[in-house]
Amino acid sequence: MIRTDDPFIPVLRQFLESCYEPFTSYSSYNPDPEHPLIFHDRHIASALLLKNVKHGAWIMKELSNLCEDTIKDFTAAGHTFIENRNYWEKFRRPSEYVSYCEDIAKRHFVRTSIPCNAYASKLLFSPNDPIWFNFINARLSGSHIARRSFCCTGDTAIIKPEGEDTGDRKFKIPPETRSTLGNRALSNLNKLRDMDNIFNYEFFVATKTAEALLDRMGCWGEFKWEMPTVTGAHVLPASLPGKDSPFIQSLFPLLGVEPLRPLPIHMGTSSRKSAHARKVVAPLTNTRRAKSKYRINVHHYIQKAWIDAVHTDATFIVFSCGRQERIAIRHRQSQTLFLSDLIDPTKIPGYRKIHLGLTIAAIKDRLERWDPIEVENRRPSKRKEPPGYSSIYNSMKDKATRRKRRRLNPELGLTSVEMDKKAFDDELAKRDLVLFYLNYSYMSSPAPSAFRRMEPSCASRPFQNHSYHFKRKASYSPARYILATTYQDDIGSGAVGLVYRVTVEIEIEDGSKHQRTLILKLAIGDKKDQIIQEYEIYKRLAEANATYGIVGVHGLFHDMETDALMMIMDDGGMSLRTRAIEKKLKIHYDWDDSVETAEKERDAFIKALKGIHHAHVIHQDIRIDNLMINDAGDVFIIDFDNGRYDPLHESFEYERDMEELLTAIGWLDSDDDTSESDEDEDKDEDKDDGDGQA
């Protein structure tokens, strides 16, 4: 690779051929594996999911050859390696403490990633750099708790700019290194910085269970991708798989890729069957029982790694538990994962040569796949407009005077009739099944998730509070279920979970369809208790007929396959904080943030809060983020996950609620403010008038 008389030869050979030091023992910390897939992992677009796993016995050899060829090109161009203190600083003895999963990752970073990244930086970017500056970082992802679970994730990426990014792309590069960089190297570094990362790591705790998992990854053949099992539902528009870089094909000619096939004509189109002919079949039973112990499934971990690679657009993945590894290549065009043989870092010769070749290959692949248009499109909010939203269906916001039936799409035979809000709410209340689609960014549900109703609608009047018993049907016609689709990423998150703005569609018996834009809250894992608590508060308000300033809630629903919960509710508009930001109004930042509001708005918010208190409910979290106002000027108080039912109505927290409200809307110190003591006078009035609520 370099001249035989080069004094750096023994140093280079020591680097490339050395292996890991063996662990003294397995980790004493042995956390139980948990299901790695979450709700969203089942909704990847069909063109992006994994279809096959194939044996890539050639991967290690080809990466080693790439490493050797790159070093040959480096020396042939007249460059030399320099052994100095800066070089040896890249080599530090890893900690022998390997209790947690993050310890496995850090050991790999210190022993392998950092020196390999330094070599790759010199070979590809700064060949004449005397201080071996490292442009590439190895990073751990996730929270502190996640890093101590059975598995955790990491990646490699180009260093970020110095300070705040002002567009000048200045890096924290020492002067000695910067003086050696050419325009091409700087251009390539800037391109790589625009991307999420270079390649991904999937780390596991050092246990026999993890070793067995990596061993069982050699499950060659068709891959069983976990996704919703609903059948008979509308199919979202499909697309072709992504393209791979020419570099990957030239480096790994044994990929054996078949040419892209055109999509079948029927894919991605709505069914033309009549409403009576189209039937949806929902899952029979819960496939994930909350209290049952998860039984490890190698397909789940492979699918999770593939999804992480889709999210970051990575081609290479490293699976490691410290004692064993596999290197994988994600081939987009054939939707195939090529997996290497098992690698024993303590025994295999040329271990670091393989990983240096991996880093070089990943960087070259990234540079060939760099597309300025795609990079620019990835930066804004991940939003996709509903296809034909304005031309196919009649929006609920159209003027209610146009009530005649009209044909909207002759090809699909779809019609629509205006439906007022009460009729729409009543239709939602009668339906027990919600089909939820995600359709934004790389999410495009191959099938919808089916949520069955757990609790009744609080929006339909009169409110019927009774124990709800879901009766599963063999199949559901379109007039028996609700379609909910989000065309953008979540618009917020909090104690209850993720919040989406969704298009909700219903079809009635005559085949006409109607849509409204609503809000959907999705709760996963430990967030489920909070969403149940919030629904219970909304139900209390509905029982008391407290509707003024309260968004309509259309029920609580349960996903039989993932145990996720959802709550569908009316859209209250924008928060006072958002309105202040958009209209460039002043926000007073003090102990509690506040904004200025008009007297009419103040009175409306006070009226809403009094109605809540008359229903014996204390909000306990009134902030400008939870105070909403829509385009018509209607106000709403939302987010009752901290709310509490107080049947005695004697708590001082009622006064604190009112004080927080007046502070948030900028009226606490006004001579015209309204205190909670006014309620004593209100109680003498007609108790049935409900403060004018209807």
Question: Domains of the chain, with CATH numbers?
Answer: 13-161+178-236+297-377 (no CATH), 392-569 (no CATH), 574-692 (1.10.510)
How confident is the model over 418-429, as a mean pLDDT?
A: 90
At residue 95, the pLDDT reads 66
Alpha carbon distances (Å) from 90 to 107, 180, 441: 13, 20, 39
Separation in Å, CA 101 to CA 38, 110, 297, 318: 20, 15, 19, 14
In this predicted structure, what is the pLDDT of residue 17? 87
CB within 8 Å of 620: residues ≥ 6 apart? 642, 643, 644, 653, 657
Q: How many CB atoms neighbour CB 569 within 10 A? A: 23
Q: Once rounded to an integer, what is the mean pLDDT over residues 256-271? A: 47
pLDDT of residue 83: 87
Q: What is the end-to-end Cα distance of the chain in Å, rounded?
A: 83
pLDDT digits (tens, 9 = 90+) for 322-366: 999 999 999 999 999 999 999 999 889 899 999 999 999 999 999
Does the pLDDT at position 420 exceed 70? yes
Q: Which two tokens stand for residue 497?
A: 């979970």
- Give the span between the Cα atoms of 208 and 202, in whole angstroms: 16
Dihedral angle computed from the Cα positions of residues 361, 367, 368 and 372, in that order, rounded to the nearest 10 degrees: 160
In this predicted model, what pLDDT tens digit does every residue of 492-530 receive, in sequence order?
888 889 999 999 999 999 889 999 999 999 999 888 999
Q: Are 335 and 256 in contact (CB under 8 A)?
A: no
Residue-level pLDDT at 60: 96
Query: In this structure, what token pair is assigned to residue 140?
Result: 């751990």
Q: What is the pTM of this model?
A: 0.85
What integer is the mean pLDDT of 396-419?
Answer: 41
pLDDT tens digits, 5-41: 678 889 999 899 888 777 666 777 888 999 999 999 9
Determine the Cα angle at 206 with ends 208 and 56, to 5°. Answer: 80
Place of tokens 């020492």: 174
Pick from 195, 133, 190, 120: which is nearest to 161 by CA? 190
**CA 637/CA 572 separation, integer angstroms:** 9
Give the pLDDT score at 244. Answer: 93
| Total residue length of the chain | 694
